[in-house]
Chains A and B, each alone.
Chain A
Amino acid sequence: MAEQAIVRPTFAVRYRKILLGGFAVILFFAAWQAIFLFVPFNPLFISKPSLIAAGLVDLVDSGDLFHDLAVSAVPFFIGLAAAVIVGVPLGIVMGWRPRVGYALDPLMTVFYASPLVALAPLLVIFFGVGVSGKAVIVFVLSVFPFIFNAHAGVRAVDRLLINVVRSLGGGEWDLYRKVIFPSVLPYIVAGSRIAVGRALIAVLVGEFFAASEGIGYAISRFGDIFALDRMFGCILVVMAIAVVLTEGIRWAERAAFPWRAGQ
């Protein structure tokens, strides 16, 4: 027998990752719903998927959900943008200029390791309860992943490529543009996955303390008035957003940096 037939994987085999993952999610919600067939249900302490779904429909229907999301999105994106603009150059310079790195590394490590979220009330007092206060909290929490990943990216730059550009007459600025920044870019995108998660937490925390609108405010208010169906609904929406953002970035990484595939 010379040739072997190429076996085409069945649908179930080909999509088993998604199928199994999705099945577990569905099973989780089904179990959540079903458990109250055996356990008494108290709507003041817990909710269940059927009620959450109804609450979500109501929030979407009234437009409240989108309004709150839109309100929260503004400081989220402003804070993240500021974190990129500050964090990436800072991390690159720390990595490329050893003395800057030696000077700032301990300080940054301390900040990164500390529970910065505890500063949120202080930041709200300094910067107000509006967009600026929340954006500052987002910035403070999300800037460090950009700094550290850019820093790590610079240290991983292939010295040979530096020599290549130098030998062809490139100056310092050319090194940044042609080698360092492109090498660091995948690290920055990977860092943004972490940063996005922290930025979401930052927005919620900022809105828990003091706010009159926004998705974090909605969650805390629904909690206060024991509207647990809508509270859980908002939490699920935030979770979904977190998953979509991080998975979207993961997908973008594979699409944009094909030479790193398999690394």
Chain B
Amino acid sequence: MAGYIEGRNVSLTFRPPNRAPVRALGGFDIAVEEGEFLSIVGPSGCGKSTFLNVVLGLTKLDSGEVLMHGKPIGGPGSDRAMVFQEFGLLPWRTVQHNIELGLELKKVPAEKRRATAERLVVLVGLAGFEQHYPHELSGGMKQRVGLARALATDPDVLLMDEPFAALDAQTRDLMQAELLRIWREARKTVLFVTHQIDEAIYLSDRVVVMSKRPGRAKKIFAIGLPRPREYEMRVTPQFNDLKLEIWNTLKDEIVA
């Protein structure tokens, strides 16, 4: 089966003015199945965010191609949405209006926007906080808004760039479980970037380990753990074996 999202030999070099060019991606190959939860782990600076931005349509690649449904990605589209590490909420907007942003840009009438926001606020567990501003929310709550905003336009693909990295460990565990619940209900394809091996294994169907910059896919691991995932699975031998294997693949790429 052809990948739902397919990256073939994706290469990209940043050429910042007055600085040396940076080769971020050097022949990255990936095929993401429809409905799959796929994580990417890799050393920092290996081009993970860059690749997500290419899929999102914000960054143009130099060579190779990224296809969605077999068609090259030409720019942003409502079939994809990103959840950002630093949330990216508009501070002057309430929770509700942040969630409605994508719909507003698509000129969806106010009635429908409100209905969608109401449904999503409940889905992400923020009922009662519709009229709060981001500065009144905790980090976990902000990312719930970020997730709701991404879901609002009903994209086929959710791109998540270290979405829980800014959260404390307990909140992160909680958000992972919530994300799996939402993913089960919403049936999206998820492309999830993280630097946490545990998180990648716990959430994913497959985990791609990237090489150091310029980033390539070094190895792909199929996570055979049954679904729904339970917290206890993190302490099973199967989980720990995978963790060790992934770590061994990753550690040679990390330049401290």
Interface residue ranges, A against B (CB under 8 Å): 158, 160-161, 163-170, 174, 178-179, 182, 257-260
Interface residue ranges, B against A (CB under 8 Å): 53, 56-58, 76-78, 80-82, 84, 86, 88, 90-92, 101-102, 104-106, 133-135, 149, 153
Docked CA distance A179–B182 (Å): 29
Question: What number of A-B contacts does a CB cutoff of 8 Å give?
Answer: 59
Q: B76, B86, B91, B134: which contacts A168 (Cβ < 8 A)?
A: B76
Q: Which of A161, A163, A165, A168 has the most CB of B within 10 A?
A: A168
A-B contact pairs, 14 of them (CB 8 A): A158-B88, A161-B90, A163-B58, A164-B82, A164-B90, A165-B101, A165-B105, A167-B58, A168-B101, A168-B102, A168-B106, A170-B105, A174-B105, A182-B92
Contact status A259-B58, CB under 8 Å = no
Docked CA distance A179–B153 (Å): 19
Docked CA distance A259–B92 (Å): 7
Q: A161, A174, A258: which contacts B88 (Cβ < 8 A)?
A: A161
Residues of A within 8 A of B82 (CB): 164, 167
Residues of B within 8 A of A169 (CB): 76-78, 102, 105-106
Residues of A within 8 A of B78 (CB): 168-169
Given contact pairs A160-B84, A160-B88, A259-B92, A167 touches B135 in the complex (Cβ within 8 A): no
Given contact pairs A182-B90, A259-B133, A168 touches B105 in the complex (Cβ within 8 A): yes
Residues of A within 8 A of B84 (CB): 160, 163-164
Smallest CB gap from A170: residue in B: B105
Smallest CB gap from A261: residue in B: B135
Residues of B within 8 A of A257 (CB): 92
A47 CB, nearest partner CB in chain B, Å? 49
Contact status A167-B90, CB under 8 Å = no
Contact status B77-A166, CB under 8 Å = no
Docked CA distance A163–B153 (Å): 16
Residues of A within 8 A of B102 (CB): 168-169
Docked CA distance A167–B81 (Å): 7
Smallest CB gap from B135: residue in A: A259
B233 CB, nearest partner CB in chain A, Å? 33
Smallest CB gap from B90: residue in A: A161
Contact status A258-B105, CB under 8 Å = no
Residues of B within 8 A of A174 (CB): 105
Contact status A166-B134, CB under 8 Å = no
Docked CA distance A164–B152 (Å): 14
Q: Which of B101, B105, B134, B149 has the most CB of A within 10 A?
A: B105
Given contact pairs A174-B105, A258-B135, A166 touches B58 in the complex (Cβ within 8 A): yes
